[in-house]
Amino acid sequence: MQRRAFMQLSGGLMVMGASAPLFVSKTAHALQAATGTGVGGRILVIVQLAGGNDGLNTVVPYEDPMYYKVRPTLGVRASSVLPLTAGLGLHPSLAKFKDLYSAGDLRVVQNVGYPNPNRSHFRSMEIWEAGDPSDAAPQTGWLGRYLDANCAGCETAAMSLTSPLPQSLWRDHVPVPGLPDLTTVTRIGPGGSEAARRLAALKSLYATPDEGATVEAVRGRGLNAITAAETIQAFLNKVQTTGEYPQ
């Protein structure tokens, strides 16, 4: 399947393509405002494409006879790959990635795995995002544990643009906001002092401990969402964004 046809099929990706860059940029600004810039004033952006990528046809071992033996038709011809290093080259449609590679801005990590995968799709994804094949029921992710270990006390150490929160960001302590938007709620109903009174009561309800583990779990998540929404909104209100992005 051609990539373009795939993009047309996946409506969600089209939306991302049209709206993500501005949003990402604004969010990065908001994050910068929130964290007071982070290490060396820099922010790490992680784009996680969760799904099946054909690694062997992305980074092609074009000098390995075994590759052409097992892929007599699917294999990418040696003459068309974009060579990176001895025996390895990119699929011909990744020309811009080749440019990034040549400029030293792209690197490839190969052969990452763990012994004896059990082939369950769900378990495999869980292990990748947890970064730990030994834990039978991981409650944290590899990024989440980094945050817990290094970002205690950070007001907003990381943000996620996707819902639900990817497991890689699951953590014990450091809150990771998504992009909840409380105006989704407040634009319904009256405004003015009545809206403010109502929002105050809502926050009080979520600040009041209740009996029962499940109610408390709901309350905790709700409080987290309301707080994050207010924090993010305050930052977004301050940010001016300029610049154009490819569509």
- Check residue 218 for interaction with another protein (CB under 8 A): yes
Binding residue for another protein, selected from 118, 134, 242, 247, defined by CB under 8 A: 118
Q: Which is nearer to another protein, 79 or 163 (CB)?
A: 163
**Cα pseudo-dihedral 126, 127, 133, 134, rounded to 10:** -30
Order of strands, sheet of 82-85, starting from the edge strand that comes earlier in the sequence: 59-60, 88-90, 82-85
- Check residue 143 for interaction with another protein (CB under 8 A): no
- Check residue 170 for interaction with another protein (CB under 8 A): no
**Least distance from C-beta 40 to another protein, angstroms?**
28
**Which of 225, 237, 238 has the alpha carbon at shortest distance from 179?**
225
The residues in 5-64 that bind another protein, with binding defined as CB under 8 A, are: none
**Least distance from C-beta 97 to another protein, angstroms?**
29
**Which of 159, 154, 190 has the alpha carbon at shortest distance from 174?**
154
- Check residue 163 for interaction with another protein (CB under 8 A): yes
- Check residue 122 for interaction with another protein (CB under 8 A): yes
Integer-rounded Cα radius of gyration of the chain: 23
Please tell me whether the peptide bond between 92 and the residue prior to it is cis, using omega within 30 degrees of 0: no
User: Tokens 């393509």 — which residue?
Assistant: 17
- Check residue 172 for interaction with another protein (CB under 8 A): no
- Check residue 179 for interaction with another protein (CB under 8 A): yes
Q: Give the helix ranges, DSSP H, for the chain.
A: 3-9, 11-35, 55-58, 65-70, 95-102, 121-130, 142-150, 183-186, 192-207, 213-238
- Check residue 73 for interaction with another protein (CB under 8 A): no
**Which of 218, 237, 229, 228 has the alpha carbon at shortest distance from 155?**
228
- Check residue 82 for interaction with another protein (CB under 8 A): no
Stretch that binds another protein, among 37-45, 92-100, 139-147, 184-192 (CB under 8 A): 184-192
Which pair of structure tokens corresponds to residue 232? 């993010």
Size of the site for another protein (CB under 8 A): 48
Q: Which is nearer to another protein, 36 or 189 (CB)?
A: 189
Q: Which is nearer to another protein, 149 or 215 (CB)?
A: 215
**Least distance from C-beta 188 to another protein, angstroms?**
4
User: Tokens 């440019």 — which residue?
Assistant: 99
Binding residue for another protein, selected from 2, 208, 237, 247, defined by CB under 8 A: 208
- Check residue 190 for interaction with another protein (CB under 8 A): yes
Rounded to a whole number of angstroms, the distance between the first and last alpha carbons of the chain is 21
- Judged by the rule CB under 8 A, the positions of this chain that interact with another protein are 118-123, 163-165, 177-182, 184-186, 188-190, 194, 197-198, 201-202, 204-206, 208-219, 221-222, 224-226, 228-229
